[in-house]
Amino acid sequence: MEMQFMLLFSRQGKLRLQKWYVPLSDKERKKISRDLVQTILARKPKMCSFLEWRDLKIVYKRYASLYFCCAVEDQDNELITLEIIHRYVELLDKYFGSVCELDIIFNFEKAYFILDEFLLGGEAQETSKKNVLKAIEQADLLQEEAEAPRSVLEEIGLT
């Protein structure tokens, strides 16, 4: 599964997340995002979730007000890519509790962290939902501990 990139964008074409697994300059990324977003927004609801774009296969699905869009290579399995997208949505849903677009907007860095626990280099690293969420939970805990003011720790003699 060689995923080249994943984009999340709203129905107005605003980018909410962009994860790139191939080296491209900022300018190239902007151009690709713009072109692809326009192409997908122009598609009618009855059309299928796959399309050919440049030399890539694009797999996309709309969940409420967000489009999830992945670019994969020619020999990849589009149907399983749909499942990958779905799994990511489930993870976000479990983490945020009934996720909506606003959650992704205000907590975009968390959306990235969750994606990075699920996919690495464009491939699924952990197929158990529970394990991914557990890892995120632990990392979040680590972050909270790190942010705890030192004086408090010193007070209770735990430095």
The site for other proteins (CB under 8 A) is made up of: 1, 14-21, 23-26, 30, 46-52, 75, 77-80, 82-84, 87, 105-106, 108-109, 112-113, 116-117, 120-131, 135, 138-139, 142-143, 145-147
CA dihedral 66, 123, 33, 74 (to 10 degrees): -110
Beta bridge partners of 76: none
98 versus 127: smaller Cβ distance to other proteins: 127
Beta bridge partners of 5: 20, 71
CB of 46 to other proteins, least distance (A): 6
CB 19 within 8 A of CB 117: no
24 versus 100: smaller Cβ distance to other proteins: 24
CB of 98 to other proteins, least distance (A): 19
Angle at CA of residue 130, ends 145 and 66, nearest 5°? 90
CB of 42 to other proteins, least distance (A): 11
11 versus 129: smaller Cβ distance to other proteins: 129
112 versus 154: smaller Cβ distance to other proteins: 112
Q: How many CB atoms lie under 10 A from the CB of residue 74?
A: 9
For the chain, give the longest Cα–Cα distance. 64
CB of 133 to other proteins, least distance (A): 9
